[in-house]
Structure 1
Amino acid sequence: MRPPALLSTLRPALALVLGAATLAACSSGPVAQDAAGPAKLTVWIMKDSVSDGFLQRFEADFEAGHPGTTLDVQIQEWEGIGQKVTSALASKDAPDVIEVGNTQVAQYAASGGVHDLSDKAAELDGAHWIPGLADPGKVDGKQYGIPWYAANRVVIYRKDLFAQAGITTPPKTREEWIADTEKLNTGGTEGIYLAGQTWYVLAGFVWDEGGDLAVKGADGTWKGTLETPQAQAGIGFYQRLQALGKGPKDADEAKPPQAEVFAQGRTAQLISTPGGAGAILKANPELKDKLGFFPIPGKSADKPGAVFTGGSDLIVPESSRHQQAAYEVVKALGGDKWQTEMAKEMSYVPNRTTLAPALAGNEGAAAMAAGAVNGHATPNSPNWAAVEADNPIKQYMTRVLTGTDPATAGRSADAAVTKALSGN
């Protein structure tokens, strides 16, 4: 799933002959034999994932380290990408490397067209991968998607309004967060702006309670789980927090755009990716130097709140004619050097927790990285996209916030989620 408000182009470059024996020496584990003769590696990167400059530097560096290699990096639009990738995976001439949303991996792996890279996990330091990227990349115990970068929500707050309310440090627990938000609801200030259908935020609260949005049964079928006590506890906390602001109960954070609401100057907090600060400052430059960031608080001070990890994984199609060379591209993009450069330039969370220091000095990205250690992904069903299409979770939230019994609303939502996940 592509992280909102985050995420250019590289032009084709030089020429290559990569012998299969050379590639076998620099890659670990058995992978498909590369086609003989000159090869050009085709890499699909999504629009705005990284800057032109980053891609140009990566291309030059990779080709210098792999003499004769040609990288043809082609920029793809997010709109309509699902069908395009599905068609490519079914073809006999797929790209060699494809960037995909982390929650899309299961859907693509189900086609049988994605190469299993499980034997590469140790070499890529998979033990330290961010769970919200690594977990959806693994399907039926096989690692098809290699984590590339992540982004998750944090709390953006007004430092000046916190100070006026006597709050000297950001809250570390949910209850501290509620208490501080109540303090901020004075003198015409809105303690927090939280729209009623911000379902990724709700998901975090449900995960904190030990629940989920849907689970896979022993028989292999998926079913919604919003009627469970854990989900009811999660929506209960959401209801308490949402009531401390004036956000609409029947809309999400895009209607109206929450950054524009915050920019009006009367709101103390909102939940967004750090990139949301740019939209706020564009609408109201006077808020420059007044914005701060902290991880979404958890149930206890020793662990931040659970967050949805959006971002991208890298996959290698089965029909790639140069799988060994393709793996070298994945290895480089996921390695220390380019993960660190991407974190600094794009303010993304690197794919491994051990690289968090790369974000030092960037307050928003550092808060995001701190929260990423408790990152999660949506249920790893190949049909999850069907749930999001009509999204009964949003409807469930509005019903609860407007007075419907959570169990009753959850039962109805579960039926819709279960039907969507069944593929019917």
Structure 2
Amino acid sequence: MSWKSVWKQLGLVALFGLMLSWVVSCSSPSTDRGQQQSGTQEVEFWTMQLQPQFTDYFNQLIATFEQQNPSLKIRWVDVPWADMERKILTAVSAKTAPDVVNLNPNFASQLAQRNAWLDLDDKISAETRQQYLPNIWKASTLNGKSFGIPWYLTTRIAIYNTELFKQAGISTPPATFAELAQVAKQLKEKTGKYAFFTTVVPEDSAEVLESFVQMGVQLVDGEGKAAFNTPQGKAAFQYWVDLYTSNLMPKETLTEGHRYAIDLYQRGDTAILASGAEFLNTIAQNAPTIAQASATAPQVTGETGKKNVAVMNLVIPKDTDVPDAALKFALFVTNDANQLAFAKAANVLPSTVKALQDPYFTSEPANATPVDKARVVSAQQMQSAEVLIPAMKNVKRLQKVVYDNLQAAMLGQKTIDQAMNDAAQAWNRQL
């Protein structure tokens, strides 16, 4: 799996529940990996599936850091995406974890609950913190404490088929869910095509659950109990059920995942694809005619105006032998200049204010490609973007109980009220 998979949330492995209970309490003698006979200190740095595409970038980054800090050496370990959760759980429990590790806030927060990471609030000045987008920094906090440093970002945009819009007499892409429903109806009536595809398969995309937040729904309260069984929550359930029962969403919504959304768009069977800018290259390769007709717009949102963002961060285990050196390196990796360089290399977004203000993200070049245009659209969303699903234990379980009951309502097996309340009760029972 490539770096592009950052669009997907890390799922919690089945092993997680078992290992989490002893991940901090179990211990073995701490090894003094940080101290070297030569008088230098070694910082072990783990990333997720960034080799071989970015090997040259990181080798140069590390060489520059070591030049500037002769007493520090970086040992870079790239871990396959699918192995990271298991490996970091095992390493933290055995107190052999790396000194700096690349995770995402959703997974890292599970271990933050067990006090596994270094508390950064006393180690990073307010001035340094202000270099990062405030909403993005907040994603790596738990109970008011900072456990991670933001790194690179990705966000959804709306890729739309201008030819289908023209056939349906639609001049502008929808900006809100209310407008999306109108566009869906008009497209179906005029062209027989669906406006979009999204999934309510519990194990797949969180896009529908995120839409609840965008519509003003609070998912859980301060104690972690269900807070979505409210008038706003009912309206969100009703919105998706109405679209489905009105045949304005494909039946495969109940059975297929996000990959199917890409397939439908590439075939010209849907007019809007909610996805990352990098998929424009995929569409150009697989469906050049569709790519030629494609344009980009900000992602559809609700009355809150919130936009989704996926964050990758750097965390430092609290048991590291070299906390100061680890922090120095983590801040170097995520500084303005290095974030800008990596964002350009990887077609992602930086999490620092200054890097995001670079002309590369604020203005289209002459003869701009669709990817250039999409990059500017993506960057413009960052001021209102945030991680929409709060960090919490068993977040995938929350998605499952909501989606299972939403499906039941879509199929007419439950009323809206029953589906919403059953989902809330199911979530509260597992707390």
TM-score grouping bracket, smaller chain normalisation? 0.7 to 0.9
Task: Give the match for residue 227 of structure 1.
Answer: 229
Deviation at 1:35, TM superposition (A): 5.0
> What amino acid maps onto 2:142 in structure 1?
V
- In the aligned structure 2, how far is the partner of 1:341 from the partner of 1:333? 10
- In the aligned structure 2, how far is the partner of 1:414 from the partner of 1:55? 46
**Residue 294 to residue 237, structure 1, CA distance change in 2 (3 Å):** farther
Task: Give the match for residue 407 of structure 1.
Answer: 417
Please list every run of 5 or more consecutive structure 2 residues that lacks an aligned counterpart in the other structure. 8-33, 365-371
CA contact (8 A) 2:46 2:100 kept: yes
- In the aligned structure 2, how far is the partner of 1:408 from the partner of 1:35? 60
1:362-415, Cα deviation, whole Å (9 max, x unpaired): 222333333342323423223435546xx2222122122223222211222223
**Residue 47 to residue 155, structure 1, CA distance change in 2 (3 Å):** same
| 1:290 matches 2:299 | no
Task: Give the match for residue 210 of structure 1.
Answer: 216
1:129-175, Cα deviation, whole Å (9 max, x unpaired): 252x4333111211011111222222221123223434333333333
CA contact (8 A) 1:124 1:335 kept: no
Local SS of the residue matching 1:108? helix
Counterpart selection for 2:403 from 386, 394, 403: 394
Deviation at 1:199, TM superposition (A): 5.6
- In the aligned structure 2, how far is the partner of 1:307 from the partner of 1:200? 13
> What amino acid maps onto 2:59 in structure 1?
Q
Task: Give the match for residue 319 of structure 2.
Answer: 319
| 1:43 matches 2:45 | yes
Task: Give the match for residue 351 of structure 2.
Answer: 351
Local SS of the residue matching 1:407? helix
Local SS of the residue matching 1:79? helix
Number of residue-to-residue matches in the alignment: 383
- In the aligned structure 2, how far is the partner of 1:366 from the partner of 1:159? 19
Deviation at 1:337, TM superposition (A): 0.6
**Residue 330 to residue 216, structure 1, CA distance change in 2 (3 Å):** same
Task: Give the match for residue 21 of structure 2.
Answer: none
Q: Give the TM-score taking structure 1 as reference length.
A: 0.80
- In the aligned structure 2, how far is the partner of 1:349 from the partner of 1:215? 31
Deviation at 1:128, TM superposition (A): 4.5
Local SS of the residue matching 1:207? helix
> What amino acid maps onto 1:187 in structure 2?
T
Q: Give the TM-score taking structure 2 as reference length.
A: 0.79
Counterpart selection for 2:113 from 92, 106, 110: 110
| 1:174 matches 2:174 | no
Task: Give the match for residue 248 of structure 2.
Answer: 244
Local SS of the residue matching 1:73? strand
CA contact (8 A) 2:199 2:208 kept: no
Of residues 170-179 and 394-403 in structure 1, the stretch that sits farther from structure 2 once superposed is: 170-179
Task: Give the match for residue 15 of structure 2.
Answer: none
CA contact (8 A) 1:203 1:307 kept: no
**Residue 383 to residue 253, structure 1, CA distance change in 2 (3 Å):** closer
CA contact (8 A) 1:117 1:143 kept: yes
**Residue 244 to residue 353, structure 1, CA distance change in 2 (3 Å):** farther
> What amino acid maps onto 1:320 in structure 2?
T
**Residue 377 to residue 195, structure 1, CA distance change in 2 (3 Å):** closer
**Residue 336 to residue 215, structure 1, CA distance change in 2 (3 Å):** same
Deviation at 1:317, TM superposition (A): 0.9
Task: Give the match for residue 23 of structure 1.
Answer: none
Please give the residue correspondences for 1:7-406 in structure 2 after superposition, counting only pairs within 5 Å: 37-48=39-50, 51-119=54-122, 120=124, 122-126=126-130, 128-129=132-133, 131=135, 133-185=136-188, 186-197=190-201, 200-217=206-223, 222-241=224-243, 243-254=247-258, 257-299=260-302, 304=305, 306-357=306-357, 358-360=360-362, 361=364, 362-372=372-382, 373-387=384-398, 391-403=400-412, 404-406=414-416
**Residue 269 to residue 130, structure 1, CA distance change in 2 (3 Å):** farther
Deviation at 1:124, TM superposition (A): 2.8
1:68-102, Cα deviation, whole Å (9 max, x unpaired): 53211101122242232223223343211011111
Taking every aligned residue pair, what percent have the same amino acid on both sides?
A: 20
Superposed CA RMSD in Å reads: 2.9
Local SS of the residue matching 1:215? coil
Local SS of the residue matching 2:332? helix
**Residue 377 to residue 103, structure 1, CA distance change in 2 (3 Å):** farther
- In the aligned structure 2, how far is the partner of 1:86 from the partner of 1:65? 32
CA contact (8 A) 1:92 1:319 kept: yes
CA contact (8 A) 2:35 2:42 kept: no
- In the aligned structure 1, how far is the partner of 2:90 from the partner of 2:405? 34
1:194-239, Cα deviation, whole Å (9 max, x unpaired): 334476222333213332322232xxxx222332222222233334
- In the aligned structure 1, how far is the partner of 2:56 from the partner of 2:296? 27
Local SS of the residue matching 1:409? helix
